[in-house]
Structure 1
Amino acid sequence: MSTFGSSGTAPASSIAPNDCNVAQAGDDGVSSLIWSPTQNILASTNWDSGIRVWEVAEQNGQVQANPKAKANHENQAPALASCFTPDGSKIISGGCDKAVRMWQLGQNLPANGSPQQIGVHDAPVSCLGYLPSTNIVVSGGWDRKLKFWDMRSPNPVGALDMPERVYDLDVRGNLMVVATAGRQIVSYDVSGEPREYSRKESPLKYQSRCISCFTDTTGFAVGSIEGRVGIHYLQKVAGKDSFAFKCHRQESQVYSVNAICFHSHFGTFATVGSDGVVNFWDKDNKQRLKGFNAIQRPIPCANFNAQGNLFAYASSYDWSKGSQSHVPGSPNEIFVHYTAEEEIKPKGKKSGGTRR
Structure 2
Amino acid sequence: MAPATQYELSPPPGDAVSSISFAPTSGTKLLVSSWDKKVYCYDIAGGAGETNLINTYEHQAPVLDVCFGADDNEAFTAGMDWAVNKWASCIYTRPQVHGTNEIAQDRFGKRREDSSKQAFCAAILVSASWDCSLNLHNLKDPSSAPIRVALPGKPHALASSPTKVVVAMTGRVINIYDLDTIAELFVSGSTDLKPWQQRESSLRYLTRAVACMPNDAGYATSSIEGRVAVEWFEDTAESQARKYAFKCHRQAAADGDGDIVYPVNALAFHPVHGTFASGGGDGTAALWDAEAKRRLKQYQKFPNSVAALAFSSDGKYLAVGVCPGFETGQEDYNGEGQTSVLIRELGDNEAKGKGAK
Matched, 1:307 2:308: no
**RMSD of aligned C-alpha atoms?**
2.3
Match of 1:335, SS state, is strand
Q: Which residue type is aligned with residue 284 of structure 1?
A: E
Report the Cα distance in structure 2 between the residues aligned to 1:264 and 1:33, rounded to whole angstroms. Answer: 15
2:41·2:54 contact (CA, 8 Å) conserved in 1? yes
Identity %: 28
Instruction: State the partner residue of 1:48.
Output: 36
| Residue 117 of structure 1, CA deviation | 1.2
| Residue 323 of structure 1, CA deviation | 6.1
| Residue 157 of structure 1, CA deviation | 3.3
Pick the aligned partner of 2:274 from 267, 270, 281: 267
Deviations 1:52-107 (A, max 9, x none): 10112167xx6856211111112xx1000011012122110010111100111427
Match of 1:341, SS state, is coil
Instruction: State the partner residue of 2:16.
Output: 29
Deviations 1:89-140 (A, max 9, x none): 21100101111001114275246426331232111111010121xx021100
Instruction: State the partner residue of 2:105.
Output: 115
Deviations 1:18-38 (A, max 9, x none): 412101222110100000001
- Listed as ranges, the gaps of 5+ residues in structure 1 are 1-15, 349-354
Report the Cα distance in structure 2 between the residues aligned to 1:183 and 1:238, rounded to whole angstroms. Answer: 21
Q: Which residue type is aligned with residue 130 of structure 2?
A: W
Matched, 1:177 2:166: yes
1:100·1:118 contact (CA, 8 Å) conserved in 2? yes
Instruction: State the partner residue of 2:242.
Output: 241
Report the Cα distance in structure 2 between the residues aligned to 1:17 and 1:267, rounded to whole angstroms. Answer: 20
Instruction: State the partner residue of 2:135.
Output: 147
1:78·1:96 contact (CA, 8 Å) conserved in 2? yes
2:41·2:92 contact (CA, 8 Å) conserved in 1? no
Distance 1:243 1:63, change over 3 A: farther
- Listed as ranges, the gaps of 5+ residues in structure 2 are 95-100, 185-192, 253-258
Instruction: State the partner residue of 2:190.
Output: none
| Residue 347 of structure 1, CA deviation | 1.8
Matched, 1:66 2:73: no
Q: Which residue type is aligned with residue 24 of structure 1?
A: P
| Residue 238 of structure 1, CA deviation | 6.5
Pick the aligned partner of 1:102 from 67, 86, 97: 86
Q: Which residue type is aligned with residue 89 of structure 1?
A: N
Q: Which residue type is aligned with residue 115 of structure 2?
A: V
1:21·1:333 contact (CA, 8 Å) conserved in 2? yes
Aligned length: 329
Q: Which residue type is aligned with residue 262 of structure 1?
A: F
Report the Cα distance in structure 2 between the residues aligned to 1:113 and 1:107, rounded to whole angstroms. Answer: 7
Question: Counterparts in 2 of 1:282-321, with a 5 A limit?
Answer: 282-319=289-326
Distance 1:276 1:53, change over 3 A: same
Report the Cα distance in structure 2 between the residues aligned to 1:184 and 1:162, rounded to whole angstroms. Answer: 10
Report the Cα distance in structure 2 between the residues aligned to 1:31 and 1:107, rounded to whole angstroms. Answer: 19
Instruction: State the partner residue of 2:341.
Output: 334
Match of 2:350, SS state, is helix
Distance 1:239 1:266, change over 3 A: farther
TM-score in terms of structure 1 length: 0.86
Report the Cα distance in structure 2 between the residues aligned to 1:159 and 1:121, rounded to whole angstroms. Answer: 10
Distance 1:286 1:328, change over 3 A: closer
TM-score in terms of structure 2 length: 0.86
Q: Which residue type is aligned with residue 13 of structure 2?
A: G
Report the Cα distance in structure 2 between the residues aligned to 1:125 and 1:321, rounded to whole angstroms. Answer: 27
| Residue 153 of structure 1, CA deviation | 3.3
| Residue 247 of structure 1, CA deviation | 0.5
Q: Which residue type is aligned with residue 223 of structure 1?
A: S
2:4·2:344 contact (CA, 8 Å) conserved in 1? no
Matched, 1:168 2:157: yes
| Residue 345 of structure 1, CA deviation | 0.5
Report the Cα distance in structure 2 between the residues aligned to 1:330 and 1:254, rounded to whole angstroms. Answer: 26
Instruction: State the partner residue of 1:214.
Output: 213
Q: Which residue type is aligned with residue 209 of structure 1?
A: R
Name the stretch that deviates more: 313-322 or 336-345: 313-322
Report the Cα distance in structure 2 between the residues aligned to 1:309 and 1:128, rounded to whole angstroms. Answer: 24
Matched, 1:199 2:198: yes
2:262·2:281 contact (CA, 8 Å) conserved in 1? yes
Match of 2:307, SS state, is coil
| Residue 316 of structure 1, CA deviation | 0.6
Match of 1:182, SS state, is helix
